[in-house]
Amino acid sequence: MQQYRLAAGLRRVEVVELVGARHEAPWTHADEIAEAIGRFAASSGGRVSLGAEEPDRDHDQPHDDENE
């Protein structure tokens, strides 16, 4: 299965199979999904990162010389 090949190349991955789930899984398997998300969040100390650096807060602020 494709998701297992993908998971093999990533760090800190757990593939969760929801037996009998289809596209309506968020409604029919909400408890299992919430449990899997909870396990992931707990294993990361409650902090989830997508690997991006922290935003540069100064970069988003207008500078006086930009208005000249």
- Tell me: the pLDDT tens digits for 10-49? 888 888 899 989 999 999 999 999 999 898 888 877 666 6
Where residue 64 falls among pLDDT bands split at 50, 70, 90? low
**Does residue 32 sit within a domain?**
yes
**Does residue 64 sit within a domain?**
no
Residue 48 · residue 41 · CB < 8 Å:
yes
**Does residue 63 sit within a domain?**
no
Tell me which residue range forms the domain holding 20.
16-45
**Does residue 37 sit within a domain?**
yes
CA distance 8 to 29: 25
Look up the pTM and report it.
0.55
**Does residue 59 sit within a domain?**
no
Query: Is residue 59 over pLDDT 60?
Result: no
